[in-house]
Amino acid sequence: MTKIYAHRGASKYAPENTLPAFNLAYEMKADGIETDVQLTKDGIPILIHDENVKRTTNGTGFVQDFTFAEIRELDAGAWFSRKYKNTPILSLEELLNWIKFKPLYLNIELKNNKIDYKHLELIVFEMVKEHQLLDRTTISTFNSESVKRLKEVNQMIEVAYLTSKQNNKLVTYAEDLGANAIHVKYKLLNDKLMNESRKKDMKIRVYTINKYPSMKQCFHLGCDGIFTDVPDKALSYRIKNIGG
């Protein structure tokens, strides 16, 4: 059955990558959580999508130029709604502690395609391992070199190559990098990709699926997962159409 991952939490309804968005996704009974990780100046992995804090906080500047203590002073909720004023940016450690005893899958996207943070792969892997979450965590990235580094670090965690680019040999390419899953933009999804991925036992997940026609296609083709800002709608649609 196609699993439903809440993209940056239930990010249509609460500020992305924050505890309110994750709690809401859990209450909606999403199968998993998707989040983004970048490194602070002092090497702490935190949950934020953009390299610059400007869009989703009351601050400005690059994540890599803030210490974790400085990042914690920012408001990551007021931009979305006054209701969420003073919501802090979370560390990856806090998310792992939150998710540990919940029946949720986790997808951690390394945001290292623009800024290739040193040792990000090892830091994230070791933290996930320490929390004993390797068996239900996927680490994904658009950075092909990062996929290679992840496979050098470990053979114990699922690694997904993220892409929005057309590639007729995508499955082979991802396999050669060392990935065992592929996360694609919806426009790349087709029967050929699904058939080739099944032959190689390569999981396919699709982003970002918010509308019913695209949900229907993903469920019909049997994708392993979708990432959605509206997990409640995706779950309702899945129940109505495939009974689970």
Spell out the residues 6+ positions from residue 187 whose beta carbon is closer than 8 angstroms to its own. Answer: 164
List, in order of start, the domains of the chain with CATH numbers.
15-205 (3.20.20.190)
Residue 244 has pLDDT above 70, yes or no: no
Over pLDDT 70: what percentage of the chain?
A: 99
Q: How far is CA 187 from CA 80, 153, 165, 217, 221, in A?
A: 28, 32, 9, 11, 14
Residues with catalytic roles = 7, 49
pLDDT band at 241 (very low <50, low <70, confident <90, very high): confident
Residue 61 has pLDDT above 90, yes or no: yes
Read off the pLDDT of residues 178-211 as tens digits, 9 standing for 90 and up.
999 999 999 999 999 999 999 999 999 999 999 9
Whole-structure pTM value: 0.97
Average pLDDT, the chain: 96
Work out the end-to-end distance of the chain between its first and last CA atoms, rounded to an integer number of angstroms.
Answer: 8
Pairwise CA distance, residues 196 & 135, whole Å: 24
- The DSSP letter of residue 53 is S
Read off the pLDDT of residues 6-33 as tens digits, 9 standing for 90 and up.
999 999 999 999 999 999 999 999 999 9
Closest C-alpha among 103, 93, 89, 117 to residue 8: 89
Average of per-residue pLDDT across 111-116: 96
Looking at residue 156, its pLDDT comes to 85
SS3 content of the chain, % helix, strand, coil (to 5): 40, 20, 40
Residue 214 has pLDDT above 80, yes or no: yes
Looking at residue 54, its pLDDT comes to 98
